[in-house]
Amino acid sequence: MTHQLVLRKPLAFFDLETTGINTAKDRIIDICIVKAMPGGEVITKSQRINPGMPIPIESSLIHGLYDPDVADCPPFKAVAKGLAQFMEGCDLAGFNSNRFDVPLLVEEFLRADVSFDVRNRRLIDAQRIFHLMEPRNLSAAYKFYCNKELIGAHGAEADTLATLEVLDAQVQRYVGMVAKADSGADLIFNNDVDMLHQLTANKNVDLAGRIVLNDKGEEVVNFGKNKGVPVLEVFKKEPSFFDWVQKGDFPLDTKRRLTEIRLRTLSQGK
């Protein structure tokens, strides 16, 4: 394989398979680096890694790697220097790499006490280019699913009718296919409103997403210093939190939902 990119230094494309999506806590279990050289040559290096922790089943179902697959593989610390040397002097590229792969890789290098500074590297994210250059709006969806140009875009009636056509076409196109919801559940795409709701619903408690449900179904704060902390815990350690939100510049819906939680806890004597 060769490439036609105009490069002044090697460009290392890389992708990670991991135990999860938390860049601070999760670990790499597979890494592939494809180094595009200035002369057109392409050099590939792959390495499976024992993450030192169980691989959650929901992650294994996505990438197909299970604990036995990496049981005899080296830990990241054992291969970190070799990987850093392979990527030395390279700019970095990937798909969604700026938001996920680069931060997680740097965390792993830091844990292994291997110097890997990205400040002097160019970071190229092909997903970002894709989203910038290919519209992801109603007009684009209407053209893709219905093969029609949206006349009168941004007019309420035209947009609403087009959305109906788009959803109708989506159901016809994807019926019978497996879709993964944000909850991690695999859903069979079908012409059913309950399924469509499950597929597109989020974990927001309030519409603004200032309060969300965690994996345990607990209401947690989703902003500021208390992000990720259950609302009940915040009430206990910071009694003024409730009044601060009520008096602050927060949406009325957020204040309403927080009030409901507050009243519920008071009635239960928590």
pLDDT tens string 7-28: 989 999 999 999 998 888 899 9
Please check whether residues 164 and 59 belong to one and the same domain: no
Percent of the chain with pLDDT over 90: 63
User: Tell me, what's the pLDDT at 255?
Assistant: 94
pLDDT tens string 76-127: 999 999 999 999 999 999 998 998 999 999 999 999 999 898 988 999 998 8
21 in Cβ contact with 147 (< 8 Å): no
Q: Please identify, among 110, 130, 150, the residue that sits at the C-terminal boundary of a domain.
A: 130
Other Cβ atoms closer than 10 A to 269? 5
User: Tell me, what's the pLDDT at 270?
Assistant: 61
Does the pLDDT of residue 132 top 80, yes or no? no
Please check whether residues 260 and 190 belong to one and the same domain: no
Q: What is the crossing angle of helices 156-174 and 138-146, to 10°? A: 40
Which tokens sit at 53?
């922790």
Domain residues for 219?
Answer: 211-267
Q: Into how many domains does the chain fold?
A: 3
- Which helix (H) or strand (E) segment holds residue 265: the answer is helix 252-267
Q: Is residue 103 part of a domain?
A: yes
Please check whether residues 33 and 123 belong to one and the same domain: yes
Q: Please identify, among 130, 146, 162, the residue that sits at the C-terminal boundary of a domain.
A: 130
pTM of the model: 0.64
User: Tell me, what's the pLDDT at 38?
Assistant: 93
Q: Is residue 152 part of a domain?
A: yes
pLDDT tens string 170-227: 989 999 998 887 777 888 988 888 888 888 877 899 988 999 999 899 999 999 999 9
- Which helix (H) or strand (E) segment holds residue 263: the answer is helix 252-267
